[in-house]
């Protein structure tokens, strides 16, 4: 039996709705595999602003730091949407990433054959797509200084700065190479080395690090070419690793391959132990979906699949993670869909809570076999 502390941060909008379904699954894994999960619910985002005046309190950050993992719903909504407000819901995510030292964002994209008809791309292009984008989270143009605006005789001017250190590049590249070792052993390193000095340093370090991984095939791609190949030949990718800005854009592009925001989980990871586990934050890629809140329309699968990533990357429970992923695939294969993915004529449309229960039942059934 293993014991784990998990911080639960449902957040706002559909966050708590999809979270409830993820908890069904988490409780079943705990019971069926005889683990003990100590769960502590915390307020983040708009819910925290309403209660405490800030999006993330020190107490919540301390709880997260003391945990093995943080499960996160989504934050934000029209109520807190004033762009000039000094307190904003997304400060919770940024504060947790920083406070927990989470520098690597992993976004797996696996296209279930049953979902081919729901994607904007053709079946023959999508077939075999199973990739992970690894994005650097804490450096680059989002954080480089100077970052400012001014006006002179030639009009309005602005500057942003891309700055990266060797160490920052090395640690994210190693996440990519290690991950590739546990998968199909191919890394696509993405940069803009024909133009940017930071990218030339990236490529130099990627080449040096690749020598420690002779079993992993390396491909270097310019970011513009990568954007094109993701749509033309997505099945050729295994692990894509890249810096913050390029990763931000490529992860959103890659997420469209799977058909819906409601299907995709993500993991934000920090330093790893020798066995590959470590503290992480797990969340669906979607937001709080104010347009469908409270109607039972939210797809809980991205949140449930985030539980699978947590089991794998923070708790080291690979069989349990696979049990969740297989259960989701079986429910989809049986034709069940929430409204956002109910494109095909064969679909049986279900609510948020019915979808959660269906996945839960599959986990239970598989374990009892």
**Residues near ligand NAD, by CB under 6 A:** 14, 18, 74-77, 81, 93, 261-262, 283, 286-292, 298-299, 302, 340
- Residue keyed to tokens 């803009």: 192
Q: Which of 192, 238, 313, 362 is catalytic?
A: 192
Q: What is the DSSP letter of 131?
A: E
Strands 144-152 and 155-161, how do they pair? antiparallel
58 flagged as catalytic: no
Collapse the DSSP code of 102 into the 3-class scheme (helix H, G, I; strand E, B; otherwise coil) and give the result: coil
Measured from the CB atom, the residue of 93 and 132 that comes closer to ligand NAD is: 93
Q: Are 92 and 318 in contact (CB under 8 A)?
A: no
Q: Which is nearer to ligand NAD, 108 or 262 (CB)?
A: 262
- Active-site hit among 248, 282, 336, 340: 248
By beta carbon distance, the residue nearest ligand NAD is: 287
Rounded to 5 degrees, φ, ψ at 216 are -105, 125
Give catalytic status of residue 224 as yes or no.
yes
- The string of DSSP letters for 193-226 reads TTT-HHHHHHHHHHHHHHTT-TTSEEEEEEHHHH
289/363 with CB nearer ligand NAD = 289
**One of 58, 62, 81, 224 is an active-site residue; which one?**
224
| Shortest distance, position 18 Cβ to ligand NAD, whole Å | 6
CB of 265 to ligand NAD, least distance (A): 11
Does residue 142 have an active-site annotation? yes
- Listing DSSP states for 20-43 in one string gives HHHHHHHHHHHHHTT-EEEEEE--
Smallest distance from ligand NAD to CB 245, Å: 17
For helices 318-333 and 352-368, give the axis angle rounded to 10 degrees: 120
Minimum CB separation from ligand NAD for residue 313, in Å?
A: 18
Taking the least distance from each CB to ligand NAD, the nearer of 215 and 291 is 291
Query: Could you list the active site residues?
Result: 142, 192, 224, 248, 252
């Amino acid at each position: 039996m293993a014991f784990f502390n998990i911080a639960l941060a449902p957040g706002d909008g559909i966050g708590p709705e999809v979270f409830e379904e993820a908890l069904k699954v988490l409780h079943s894994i705990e019971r069926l595999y005889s683990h003990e999960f100590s769960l502590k619910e915390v307020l983040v985002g708009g819910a925290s602003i309403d209660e405490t005046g800030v999006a993330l309190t020190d107490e919540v950050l301390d709880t997260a730091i003391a945990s093995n993992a943080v499960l996160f719903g989504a934050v934000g909504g029209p109520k807190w949407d004033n762009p000039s407000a000094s307190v904003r819901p997304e400060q919770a995510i940024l504060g947790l990433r920083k406070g927990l030292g989470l520098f690597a964002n992993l976004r797996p994209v696996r296209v279930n054959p049953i979902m081919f008809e729901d994607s904007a791309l053709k079946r023959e292009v999508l077939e075999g797509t199973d990739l992970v984008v690894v994005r650097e989270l804490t450096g680059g143009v989002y954080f480089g200084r100077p970052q400012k605006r001014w006006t002179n005789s030639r009009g309005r001017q602005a500057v942003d700065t891309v700055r990266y250190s060797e160490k920052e590049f090395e640690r994210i590249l190693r996440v990519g190479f290690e991950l590739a070792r546990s998968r199909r052993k191919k890394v696509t390193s993405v940069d803009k080395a024909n133009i940017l000095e930071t990218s030339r340093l990236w490529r130099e370090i990627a080449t040096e690090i690749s020598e420690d991984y002779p079993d992993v095939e390396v491909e270097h791609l310019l970011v513009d070419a990568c954007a094109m190949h993701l749509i033309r030949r997505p099945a050729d990718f295994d692990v894509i690793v890249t810096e913050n800005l390029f990763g931000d854009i490529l992860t959103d592009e890659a997420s469209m391959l799977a058909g819906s925001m409601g299907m995709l989980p993500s993991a934000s990871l920090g330093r790893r132990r020798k066995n590959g586990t470590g503290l992480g934050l797990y969340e669906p890629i979607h937001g709080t979906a104010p347009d469908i809140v409270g109607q039972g329309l939210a797809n809980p699968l991205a949140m449930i699949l985030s539980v699978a990533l947590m089991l794998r990357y923070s708790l080291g429970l690979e069989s349990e993670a696979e049990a969740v992923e297989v259960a989701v695939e079986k429910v989809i294969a049986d034709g069940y869909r929430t409204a956002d993915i109910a494109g095909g004529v064969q679909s049986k449309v279900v609510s948020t809570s019915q979808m959660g229960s269906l996945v839960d039942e599959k986990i239970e059934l598989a374990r009892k076999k």
